[in-house]
Amino acid sequence: MSTTPSVDRSAEASTETCAKPEVRGFFDARTWTWTYVVYDPATKDAVIIDPVLDFDPANGRTWTESADLVVQFVEAQGLRVHLQLETHAHADHLSGSQHLKAKLGAGVAIGADITAVQKVFAPVFNLGPDFALDGSQFDHLIHDGEELQLGSLRIQGIATPGHTPACMSLLIGDALFSGDALFLPDVGVGRCDFPAGSAQTLYASVHGKLYNLPATTRVFVGHDYPPTGRVALAETTVAESKAHNVHLRESSTQDEFVAFRTGRDKGLAAPRLLLPSIQVNIDAGRLPKPEANGKSYLKIPLR
Ligand SMILES: [Fe+2]
């Protein structure tokens, strides 16, 4: 993965770095997912974070309404999308990244520890020797602390494992995209009971890393599950999270958090789209190869 042909670095020589990028969120009410377009209005440099492919598991239908809203926005603003970034291998929605790659030409990046997720789930779906376990399905693997200069956007990867081993938060100027590591203060943080998830690790990621960012850092979350009476929101700050997050505050000790998180996770059902999502998303959002009759099939391992 040392060469990354789909990452457009043609503007790497730019001396201007956007300190406060514009962020446009698109909320998918079916899966409670936020997709973001992050862009510099002056230079039109842009990235897309966590795109969604619409999917109805009852009849197997996929469609691209959500991703096409993103395309329309990108085109209306005249943005140049350099890269798509997945904060992790999502277990609750199919990624729309391959549709957007075809439409916009931007490759797909994910945290380098996606290889750990692939090693766990390839045998679950019996994907066989043709399925690579090295992350090569993606156009770029982001390492902890890595910085990408994409035009005027400077993107720093901050590994925030715990929800999954591959979770990568992304800092772009003053905006942090926290994926499922950190939600809005009244929602909390992501669950830690997926394979290779860890409440201890998530505590270290959030308390030990994200809470050390400047207090005014804007935080854009991967999902919102609004309590009754409020609309879906996308944004908080590091200061608000440290003071008010219902699961993990600055004052929370590791023991308190781990006891809370592991206890709560025992009562959570598996996400509705877990099995379809994971088998598609560890293959960078590609749907399974068509069989001899031209149709693709998802696998559901029976237990
Ligand atoms: Fe997730």
**Domains of the chain and any CATH numbers:** 22-270 (3.60.15.10)
In total, the chain counts a number of residues equal to 303
In sequence order, which residues have a C-beta less than 8 Å from that of residue 73 and are 6 or more positions away?
A: 24, 26, 37, 79
The model carries a pTM of 0.94
pLDDT tens per residue, range 22-32: 999 999 999 99
Amino acid identity for residue 127 in this structure: L
pLDDT at 94: 98
Å from CA of 133 to ligand 1 middle: 20
pLDDT at 2: 40
Å from CA of 181 to ligand 1 middle: 8
pLDDT at 300: 96
Å from CA of 163 to ligand 1 middle: 7
Å from CA of 13 to ligand 1 middle: 35
Å from CA of 251 to ligand 1 middle: 25
Å from CA of 3 to ligand 1 middle: 28
Q: What is the mean pLDDT of each run of 10 residues along the chain (303 residues)?
A: 48 73 98 98 98 97 98 98 98 98 98 98 96 98 98 98 98 98 98 96 98 98 94 98 98 98 96 96 97 97 93
Query: Which DSSP string corresponds to 174-221?
Result: TEEEEETT---TTT------STT--HHHHHHHHHHTGGGS-TT-EEEE
CA distance 3 to 9: 12
Neighbours of 265 (CB within 10 A): 15
pLDDT at 8: 52
Å from CA of 296 to ligand 1 middle: 24
What is the percent of the chain with per-residue pLDDT over 70, rounded to a whole number? 95
Phi-psi group of 82: left, alpha or beta (phi > 0 → left; psi -120 to 50 → alpha; rest → beta): alpha
CA distance 127 to 118: 10
Which of 273, 222, 166, 238 lies closest to 49 in space, CA to CA?
Answer: 222
SS3 120: helix
Å from CA of 15 to ligand 1 middle: 35
Structure tokens at 94: 């199919």
Structure tokens at 7: 């990452």
Å from CA of 92 to ligand 1 middle: 7
pLDDT at 292: 98
Q: What are phi and psi of 200, to 5 degrees?
A: -60, -45
In sequence order, which residues have a C-beta less than 8 Å from that of residue 264 and are 6 or more positions away?
A: 191
In sequence order, which residues have a C-beta less than 8 Å from that of residue 129 and are 6 or more positions away?
A: none
Structure tokens at 2: 């040392």
Å from CA of 180 to ligand 1 middle: 5
Neighbours of 98 (CB within 10 A): 20
Q: What would you report as the CA-atom Rg of the chain, rounded to the nearest whole angstrom?
A: 18
CA distance 197 to 91: 13
Å from CA of 270 to ligand 1 middle: 12
Å from CA of 90 to ligand 1 middle: 5
Å from CA of 56 to ligand 1 middle: 19
SS3 238: helix
pLDDT at 1: 40
Å from CA of 194 to ligand 1 middle: 9
Query: Which DSSP string corresponds to 54-69?
Result: EEETTTTEEE-HHHHH
Å from CA of 301 to ligand 1 middle: 20
Å from CA of 164 to ligand 1 middle: 7
pLDDT tens per residue, range 223-246: 999 989 999 999 999 999 999 999
Q: How far is CA 144 from the centre of its chain?
A: 15
Angle between helices 97-104 and 65-77 (to 10 degrees): 30
